[in-house]
Homo-oligomer: A and B are copies of this chain.
Amino acid sequence: MSEPEAAGDNVNNEENNPPESKTENKNEEEQPEPPKEMKAVVLAGFGGLKSVKVMNKPQPAVGEGEILIRVKACGLNFLDVMVRQGVIDSPPKTPFILGFECAGEVEGVGEGVTDVKVGDRVAALTEYKAWAELVSVPAKYVYSLPQGMEFQNAASMLMNYVVAYILVFDIGNIRSGQSVLVHSAGGGVGQAISQLCKTVSDVTLIGTASKHKHESIKDSFAHLLDHGVDYVQEIKKLSPEGVDIVLDCLYGDDANKGYNLLKPLGRYILYGTSSIVTGETKSFFSFAKSWWQVDKINPMKLFDENRSVSGFQLRHLLYQQGAHEYVRGVVNKVFKMWENGHIKPVVDSTWAFEDVPEAMQKLHDRKNVGKIILDPNMEPKPKPKLQTKGSKDKDKEKEKDGKAVGETAAGESTDAEKENKEGDSSAPSSAN
Interfacial residues, chain A to chain B (CB-CB below 8 A): 89, 166, 170-171, 173, 175, 251, 255, 264-265, 267-268, 270-271, 273, 291, 294, 296-313, 316-317, 321-323, 326, 430-432
26 A–B contacts, CB within 8 A, in A order: A166-B265, A170-B173, A171-B173, A251-B299, A264-B316, A264-B317, A264-B322, A267-B310, A273-B300, A273-B303, A294-B298, A297-B297, A297-B298, A299-B311, A301-B311, A302-B311, A303-B311, A303-B312, A304-B316, A305-B316, A306-B311, A306-B317, A307-B310, A308-B310, A308-B311, A309-B309
CB closest chain-B residue, reference A292: B298
A310 to B310, CA, bound (A): 8
A103 to B166, CA, bound (A): 41
Given A303-B430, A317-B306, A430-B303: A265 touches B296 (CB 8 Å cut-off): no
Is A303 in contact with B313, judged by CB distance below 8 angstroms? yes
Among A171, A306, A316, A326: residue with most chain B CB under 10 A: A306
Q: What residues of B have a CB within 8 angstroms of the CB of A307 in the complex?
A: 310-311
CB closest chain-B residue, reference A290: B300
The 4 A-B pairs at the shortest CB distance, nearest first, are namely: A302-B311, A303-B311, A308-B310, A264-B321
Is B265 in contact with A317, judged by CB distance below 8 angstroms? yes
Q: What residues of B have a CB within 8 angstroms of the CB of A430 in the complex?
A: 303-304
A291 to B301, CA, bound (A): 11
Smallest Cβ distance from A267 to chain B, in angstroms? 8
Is A306 in contact with B321, judged by CB distance below 8 angstroms? yes
A326 to B176, CA, bound (A): 12
Q: What residues of B have a CB within 8 angstroms of the CB of A304 in the complex?
A: 89, 311, 313, 316, 430, 432
Smallest Cβ distance from A240 to chain B, in angstroms? 12
Given A308-B309, A309-B308, A321-B306: A300 touches B270 (CB 8 Å cut-off): yes
Given A305-B311, A306-B311: A299 touches B255 (CB 8 Å cut-off): yes
Apart from A171-B265, A301-B311, what are 19 other A-B pairs with CB-CB below 8 Å? A166-B265, A251-B299, A251-B303, A264-B316, A264-B323, A268-B299, A270-B299, A270-B302, A271-B303, A294-B299, A296-B296, A296-B298, A297-B298, A302-B310, A303-B311, A304-B311, A304-B432, A306-B323, A308-B309
Given A294-B299, A300-B251, A300-B294: A316 touches B311 (CB 8 Å cut-off): no
Smallest Cβ distance from A343 to chain B, in angstroms? 21
A180 to B173, CA, bound (A): 17
A313 to B264, CA, bound (A): 10
Smallest Cβ distance from A246 to chain B, in angstroms? 11
A118 to B267, CA, bound (A): 41
A270 to B317, CA, bound (A): 24
Is B306 in contact with A313, judged by CB distance below 8 angstroms? yes
A222 to B264, CA, bound (A): 33
Q: What residues of B have a CB within 8 angstroms of the CB of A175 in the complex?
A: 170
A297 to B89, CA, bound (A): 19
Among A303, A313, A323: residue with most chain B CB under 10 A: A303
Q: What residues of B have a CB within 8 angstroms of the CB of A308 in the complex?
A: 171, 267, 308-311
Given A170-B265, A171-B265, A326-B265: A311 touches B300 (CB 8 Å cut-off): yes
Q: What residues of B have a CB within 8 angstroms of the CB of A323 in the complex?
A: 264-265, 306
Given A171-B265, A303-B312: A291 touches B298 (CB 8 Å cut-off): yes
A301 to B265, CA, bound (A): 21
A136 to B173, CA, bound (A): 36
Q: What residues of B have a CB within 8 angstroms of the CB of A297 in the complex?
A: 296-299, 309
